[in-house]
Structure 1
Amino acid sequence: MLDFSVSEKLKKLVPDFKVSVICYHHIVISELPPIISERLPLFYENIKLSLENQPFSDIPGIKEWRSMFKQAGTDPSRYRPSQEALLRKIKKDGRPHMIHSAVDLNNFFSVQYSIPMGIYDLAQINAPVRLTVGTSADTYDGLNGRMMNMENKIISADSEGAFGSPIVDSRRTCVTEHAEHALQIVYLRPSMPDEEAQRLTGKIAEMFTQVHGGENEWTIIR
């Protein structure tokens, strides 16, 4: 299993912080199978309808993650949790951008469970990996086309520096169709009981390997 840890700094600021770490091996990334892709439009349409009369701040997963951002020192009105950004995209456009099976499935999970999630090319990551709170030295080229300053934000970093967060991830470690091994970080809600967190992680890992083949291994880290 990947050498992965949560820093004491992050534990102190967010005492109940926990994530699921899933590693996938020998996967094949392409397009989502029809049995999933044909159902996604209706799924996202139902999500869009549900958002018409529900403020984002009332959605439990968003409310909890906004609170965690504040604990870490991040202004959640300026830097939104990634699942909130996805939901805002759905409310505006009806669906997120469709990219390829790994990202599309990752986005589906994030929306369904209202938690931030990240998917990365494991071949581009140099262990150990640590989740911490960034400093002014932590920057990267984000998938949103911006150079991200990750000071006072929750980040994942390897020996080369920061590469991801529950806000937006970096181009350096993004998953492409050529990736054969991947890392998935599931940013669990602190309020989620351990048994539920284990069931959720197992379900995500199983569905991902059903779509992409290969094997998975996972653990929950605090």
Structure 2
Amino acid sequence: MEIQVSEEIISKVPNFKLGVIEYQDITVGDSPQMVKGRLQLFQESIYFDLENKNLIELPGIKEWRTIFKMFSKDPNRYRHSAEALYRRVQKQNYLTTVQSAIDINNFFSLQYQVPIGIYDSDKLEGPITIEKAKTGDEYVGLNGRMNSLENLIVSCDQHGPFGSPFVDSNRAPVTQTTKNAMQIIYLQPSIAMNSAERLTDSLMKMFTQIHGGDANYYIAGHD
């Protein structure tokens, strides 16, 4: 499914870019011990690194807070998902393993300090657009609450918004029955294109190493 980024977003953030990965015929299950161990050790390492640092000054966290401000969304009330993960780690409320797809998502989100969404492609109906949510837009999120989306950057299909760097909806989550998936990496706009491609390719390769299947990626939003 091709993703189109709205002109409104590009005009506000000229270097806006997404890493988009499409997976086919994957097998989602419990994470291998290697992934569980790396996720735990990485969180412990981040916790100690944060002891003498201001979390909101970390480059990826800071850049996405700035983007939220540009769209008139208070980043102190609406924390992007990577910052939310970091705040959990800072409190030693470490992420526990969920299942392989979610664990890999969380690991890379922590590693690169950027929001990442993953969705069951068979529950979406293209075309997919990335746009600024309108007044009244809302959905039930994976946090179990009805979330107001107004002014947030959202991913939409023919049925409306289903994802955001704030919190994803409960409409197309990846589960252990998922066979086809789409992953959206909300890259730092400041990242160079070759670095964006390397990061996206690295995530795709680790994901397919664990889940099998076929995959391809592209960078959306930035010409």
- Check whether TM > 0.5: yes
- In structure 1, the residue matched to 2:14 is 15
Structure 1: state its 5+ residue gaps: none
Structure 1 residues 30-45: aligned runs within 5 Å = 30-45=29-44
When structure 1 is superposed on structure 2, of 30-39 and 4-13 the one drifting more is: 30-39
- In structure 1, the residue matched to 2:82 is 83
Q: Would the aligned equivalents of 2:88 and 2:94 in 1 still touch at CA under 8 Å?
A: yes
Q: C-alpha distance in 1, partners of 2:38/2:182?
A: 26
> Which string of whole-angstrom CA distances, capped at 9 and with x for unpartnered residues, describes residues 141-186 of structure 1?
0011110111100000000000000010000011111100111000
Aligned: 1:48 with 2:30: no
Structure 1 residues 132-171: aligned runs within 5 Å = 132-171=131-170
Residue type of the partner of 2:112? Y
Structure 1 outlier segments of 4+, above 2 Å: none
- In structure 1, the residue matched to 2:124 is 125
Q: C-alpha distance in 2, partners of 1:4/1:95?
A: 33
1:94 is displaced (CA, Å) by 4.2
Q: Give % identity.
A: 45
Q: C-alpha distance in 1, partners of 2:11/2:96?
A: 36
Q: Would the aligned equivalents of 2:36 and 2:97 in 1 still touch at CA under 8 Å?
A: no
Q: C-alpha distance in 1, partners of 2:39/2:190?
A: 28
Distance 1:97 1:163, change over 3 A: farther
Q: For 1:118, what is the secondary structure of its paired residue?
A: strand
Q: C-alpha distance in 2, partners of 1:6/1:77?
A: 25
- In structure 1, the residue matched to 2:220 is 221
Number of residue pairs the alignment of both structures matches = 221
1:137 is displaced (CA, Å) by 3.2
- In structure 1, the residue matched to 2:198 is 199
Q: Would the aligned equivalents of 2:35 and 2:104 in 1 still touch at CA under 8 Å?
A: no
Q: For 1:39, what is the secondary structure of its paired residue?
A: helix
Structure 1 residues 174-213: aligned runs within 5 Å = 174-213=173-212
TM-score by length of 2: 0.96
1:30 is displaced (CA, Å) by 0.5
Q: Would the aligned equivalents of 2:35 and 2:103 in 1 still touch at CA under 8 Å?
A: no
- In structure 2, the residue matched to 1:173 is 172
1:34 is displaced (CA, Å) by 1.5
State the superposition RMSD in angstroms. Answer: 1.0
1:56 is displaced (CA, Å) by 1.2
